[in-house]
């Protein structure tokens, strides 16, 4: 079997080319690279100019785009199991290209540690219409009935599609794991189902080949929860994409990337909003999730689009993220860094600024793309990169 391939997906709204590669057939901004560079040492990655994502993992985005055309401005989307952020950033780019800023995308990850990684990746990508939350799927079903037009659920699975690149996935696999994963996936779908409006679309995906977790569970959702499965299309047979009963299967060794299965259905069931329903908007949702889940310890960190005040001497992470946002108009002087100085900044080292750099807050950039904020004190410069985002590799 061939070695795993390496692919990236460009951020079309940051005007950066990124590494060269062959086109991914089902992704307008995907590229398959001939070899894997050291991404950690490329400041453009940290500036959100591109995202490293397996080419097969871009297929759910293709299915999403096929159905997005049904919806107009104001569409509400939930990426339910979103960490580390590949599918969220793909959805965000597709939504912005189709609708400008007339959309709402909530990117959710129930595991707190993984939610932190998701938040950082969404912040680097820089779309201000994306809100990051950390809540159990049931919270959406209970608090936000009929809220979303599209839900994308790339659910936890038995991981057969990762065997080529993850020895642990091989060691962990068992028939019992498949059975457990299939049951957990049904619970996730049942819990979040009320949050999808009647006529809305579920894009369901896994990285396994098991029928019970793929076609079987989509059929279960249609029959038990109330939906109509979309017949899959045989679009890319020349690239190894297979048809299954209810979806498309990409198998490692047959396609350029790793394993992935994707199917979709339309919700036909109807339910009334319950007494705990919240106002259905991204801002209200994140606020409501924060308030209503804090009692049991589940938090909802958010990447917000509004302006933020900065207390002198105190740098809020939201203010730092704001300068990375698409369409941000610099409010502070922009200082261009060399490659070595950009890496020093990302390593959270002291900076050597050009003579004449204004004192106070500045934006440091590489090839014109903001990396973040620093504070020039004249005699020295404080590096304001959040500690959790510093690169650990020697530079």
CA distance 82 to 362: 32
pLDDT for position 310? 35
pLDDT in tens, 104-128: 999 999 999 899 999 999 999 999 9
pLDDT in tens, 156-193: 999 898 888 888 888 888 999 999 999 999 999 999 99
Burial level of 174, CB count in 10 A (0-12/13-18/19+)?
exposed
Distances (CA, A) of 231 to 219, 226, 267, 334: 12, 16, 14, 51
CATH of domain 54-267: 3.40.50.150
Q: Mean pLDDT across the stretch 202-206? A: 98
Please report, rounded to a whole number, the percentage of residues in the chain having pLDDT higher than 70.
88
Residue-range domain boundaries for the chain: 54-267, 317-389
Q: Assign 256 a pLDDT band (cuts: 50, 70, 90).
A: very high
pLDDT for position 278? 53
CA distance 253 to 1: 6
Q: Assign 281 a pLDDT band (cuts: 50, 70, 90).
A: low
pLDDT in tens, 64-105: 999 999 999 999 999 999 999 999 999 999 999 999 999 999
Burial level of 379, CB count in 10 A (0-12/13-18/19+)?
exposed
Report the DSSP beta bridge partners of residue 265: 202, 229
Could you confirm whether domain 317-389 is CATH 3.10.450.720? yes
Instruction: Determine contact, residues 189/227, Cβ cutoff 8 Å.
Output: no
pLDDT for position 360? 95
Distances (CA, A) of 342 to 265, 356, 395: 46, 18, 10
Q: Mean pLDDT across the stretch 222-236? A: 98
Q: What DSSP character marks residue 41?
A: G
- Give the torsion sign (CA, 226, 246, 130, 108): positive
Instruction: Determine contact, residues 109/182, Cβ cutoff 8 Å.
Output: no
Region class of 313: left (phi > 0), else alpha (psi between -120 and 50), else beta: left
């Amino acid at each position: 079997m061939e070695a795993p391939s390496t692919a990236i997906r460009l951020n079309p709204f940051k005007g950066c080319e990124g590494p060269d590669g062959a086109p991914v057939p089902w992704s307008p901004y995907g590229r398959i690279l001939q070899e894997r560079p050291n991404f950690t040492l490329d400041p453009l990655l940290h500036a959100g100019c591109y995202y490293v994502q397996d080419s097969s993992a871009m297929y759910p985005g293709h299915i999403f785009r096929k159905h997005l055309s049904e919806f107009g401005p104001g569409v509400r989307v939930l990426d339910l199991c979103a960490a580390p952020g590949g599918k969220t950033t793909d959805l965000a780019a597709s939504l912005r290209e189709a609708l400008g800023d007339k959309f709402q995308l909530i990117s959710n990850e129930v595991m707190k540690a993984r939610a932190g990684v998701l938040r950082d990746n969404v912040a680097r990508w820089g779309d201000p219409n994306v809100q990051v939350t950390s809540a159990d799927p049931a919270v959406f079903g209970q608090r936000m009935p009929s809220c979303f037009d599209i839900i994308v659920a790339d659910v936890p699975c038995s991981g057969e599609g990762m065997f080529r690149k993850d020895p642990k996935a091989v060691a962990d696999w068992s028939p019992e794991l498949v059975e457990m994963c299939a049951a957990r996936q049904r619970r996730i779908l049942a819990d979040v189902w009320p949050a999808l409006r009647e006529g809305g679309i579920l894009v369901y995906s896994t990285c396994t080949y098991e029928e019970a977790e793929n076609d079987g569970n989509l059929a279960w959702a249609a029959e038990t929860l109330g939906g109509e499965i979309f017949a899959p299309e045989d679009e890319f047979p020349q690239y190894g994409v297979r048809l299954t009963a209810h979806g498309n299967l990409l198998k490692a060794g047959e396609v350029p990337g790793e394993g992935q299965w994707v199917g979709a259905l339309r919700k036909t069931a109807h339910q009334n909003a319950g007494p705990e329903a919240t106002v259905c908007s991204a801002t209200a949702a994140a606020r409501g999730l924060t308030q209503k889940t804090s009692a049991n310890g589940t938090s909802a960190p958010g990447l917000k689009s509004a302006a933020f005040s900065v207390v002198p001497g105190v740098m809020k992470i939201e203010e730092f993220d704001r300068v990375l946002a698409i369409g941000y108009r610099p409010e502070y002087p922009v200082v261009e860094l060399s490659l070595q100085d950009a890496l020093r900044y990302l390593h959270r080292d002291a900076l050597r600024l050009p003579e004449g750099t204004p004192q106070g807050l500045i934006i440091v950039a590489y090839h014109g793309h903001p990396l973040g904020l620093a504070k020039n004190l004249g005699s020295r410069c404080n590096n304001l990169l959040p500690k959790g985002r510093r690169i650990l590799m020697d530079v």
